[in-house]
Chains A and B, each alone.
Chain A
Amino acid sequence: DQQVKQNSPSLSVQEGRISILNCDYTNSMFDYFLWYKKYPAEGPTFLISISSIKDKNEDGRFTVFLNKSAKHLSLHIVPSQPGDSAVYFCAPLPNNDMRFGAGTRLTVKP
């Protein structure tokens, strides 16, 4: 039972534009959400998080939005930069392990 889904395997965006990465979940017990970024041949690195008591968290160019009623969260990157090209994973908590969504590969074109 996959509790986290990232339905877009890839996304291509022009530099300077907005990138929007989506994540859907099914378990209403999740109360904290993490986004990780992963470059090839490297481990994931933490990017931004959001608590379920909020609907928005912003950190520089990165903003995560949470819609609890829809069980949906999204990561906005604006303006997108070529260095943002990576695979992005969302991960919910609590979770006895870290099961990731399939990830979305973002490509930012110069």
Chain B
Amino acid sequence: GAVVSQHPSWVICKSGTSVKIECRSLDFQATTMFWYRQFPKQSLMLMATSNEGSKATYEQGVEKDKFLINHASLTLSTLTVTSAHPEDSSFYICSARPTGTYGYTFGSGTRLTVV
């Protein structure tokens, strides 16, 4: 089945630094990928839609200058949290939908802790 690989699975960084999270579709091409954020005991919140070769579409309230998304190829989207602060600590998940299928496949998520 379709696999989405997300790395790293967890990362700790100092406040003010930037962190990059990668999302790869391993056995299919994805022109569109999605980035989510989950706070403890809360639902998955869609942050942005990553579009290959074009700008990402951000949800209302998501700072695009803080959460930089790059989708340079059909198999890779990256989310960079710039100038991270403790309030950015969260669980970030990406997903993609293989062409011709209904189901979306999710990455395993990245636990970001900013200290």
Contacts and interface: CB of A to CB of B under 8 A. Distances in A.
Interface residues of B, number: 22
A39 B107 CA distance: 13
B106 interface: yes
Main secondary structure of the interface of B (DSSP, over half): strand
A46 B102 CA distance: 11
B44 A44 contact: yes
A45 interface: yes
A89 B44 contact: yes
Contacts of B95: 43-44, 98
Interface residues of A, number: 23
A36 B102 CA distance: 13
A41 B34 CA distance: 18
A46 B105 contact: yes
Given A43-B6, A44-B93, A96-B49, 12 more contacts: A32-B102, A43-B108, A44-B106, A46-B103, A49-B102, A89-B44, A97-B34, A97-B46, A97-B49, A98-B34, A99-B46, A103-B43
Interface of B: 4, 6, 34, 41-44, 46, 49, 91, 93, 95, 97, 102-109, 111
**A-B residue pairs, 7 tightest by C-beta:** A43-B106, A102-B43, A43-B109, A46-B103, A44-B106, A43-B108, A103-B43
